[in-house]
Copies of this chain bind each other. A is one copy, B any other.
Amino acid sequence: MQSVEKAMTVLSAFHHADGPLTLTQVAERAGIDRSAAQRMIHTLRVLGYIRRDSDGNGFLPGIRLLDHTLDYLRLDPLVRLATPVLQELRTAVRERVDLSLFDNARVIYAIRLQTKRQTLNATLVGHSVPSFCTSGGWAMLSRLSPDRARAIVEASDRRPFTPHTITDVDEIMARIAQTRADGYALAISQILSGEIAAGFPIMDANGDPVAAIHIAGSLAEWTPADFVQRVVPPGQQAARAISRF
């Protein structure tokens, strides 16, 4: 393994961590030996990509990573164009509005415009959710060929998030077909019980789906019919304004 790849593997050791990692944990998760991990951590610490936890017991990602986050977000032509459009949409619908980017089996949030009801992870840029059971995922999969969409769904880890999460491939494909017919996706209690979300696909100049707008509300406040009537027209308009950016 060449050293750049090794460095990125060391940084990626934090992907499923739930706290600071010790040297041994970094080495194990990166699949490299302890002394290689130590040298790599040293190099990455000097550069600011890894830091010591304030308790001194382990390591955490370093602040320099946020500079690259900014580069990604401010240089991406889609994010640039979408930001003011999503802000207007957020003002119009007064519900949570997100932009997610297509990454096959998952969608990654790049813009998050919150409301006051939020859990921690639900507000973080970079958070990803599976494509197979989210409004944005269905929206994007509906714009792929059914064969390619099915291949992504079949290859997905389809563990349910709630008792209502649809995990059967044929049932998911039926939702995707419905999304294709409607032009938007409607996901109810798929990731979070009691959440209703509408998803709208965004296409690039080749007509390929690259992103989705998500609008999410609570079933405590909305019937599905009212939610659709209220958020689908402005959501579709926003997605059209950004598509083929």
Chain A residues in contact with chain B, CB under 8 A? 2-8, 11-12, 14-15, 17-20, 40, 43-44, 47, 49, 53-54, 60-77, 80, 83-84, 87, 90-91, 101, 103, 108, 110-111, 113-114, 116, 118, 120-121, 123-128, 204-205
Chain B residues whose C-beta falls within 8 Å of the C-beta of A103 in the assembled complex: 63
Return the 4 tightest CB-CB contacts between A and B, nearest first: A70-B126, A69-B126, A66-B126, A14-B71
Contact B116 A70 (CB under 8 A): no
Q: How far is the CA of A101 from the CA of B48 in the complex (A)?
A: 14
Q: A61-B68, A63-B101 are in contact. Are A47 and B5 (CB under 8 A)?
A: yes
Q: How far is the CA of A43 from the CA of B110 in the complex (A)?
A: 24
Contact A113 B110 (CB under 8 A): no
Chain B residues whose C-beta falls within 8 Å of the C-beta of A84 in the assembled complex: 120
State the Cβ distance, A12 to closest chain B Cβ, in Å: 7
Could you write out 16 A-B pairs with CB less than 8 Å apart? A4-B6, A5-B47, A8-B47, A14-B75, A17-B71, A60-B76, A66-B101, A66-B108, A67-B128, A69-B124, A73-B125, A74-B127, A83-B123, A84-B120, A91-B116, A125-B125
Q: How far is the CA of A49 from the CA of B69 in the complex (A)?
A: 11
Q: Add 15 more A-B contacts to A4-B43, A73-B126 (CB < 8 A).
A: A5-B47, A8-B49, A60-B75, A63-B108, A65-B71, A65-B72, A66-B101, A66-B110, A67-B128, A68-B68, A69-B124, A70-B124, A74-B124, A87-B114, A125-B125
Contact A90 B116 (CB under 8 A): yes
Q: How far is the CA of A4 from the CA of B36 in the complex (A)?
A: 13
Q: How far is the CA of A101 from the CA of B87 in the complex (A)?
A: 25
State the Cβ distance, A57 to closest chain B Cβ, in Å: 12
CB nearest to A87 among chain B residues: B118
State the Cβ distance, A124 to closest chain B Cβ, in Å: 5
Chain B residues whose C-beta falls within 8 Å of the C-beta of A6 in the assembled complex: 4
CB nearest to A210 among chain B residues: B54
Q: How far is the CA of A80 from the CA of B19 in the complex (A)?
A: 11
CB nearest to A84 among chain B residues: B120
CB nearest to A40 among chain B residues: B4
Contact B43 A2 (CB under 8 A): yes
State the Cβ distance, A225 to closest chain B Cβ, in Å: 27
Contact B120 A80 (CB under 8 A): yes
From the candidates B12, B68, B90, B91, name the one contacting A11 in the complex (CB within 8 A). B68
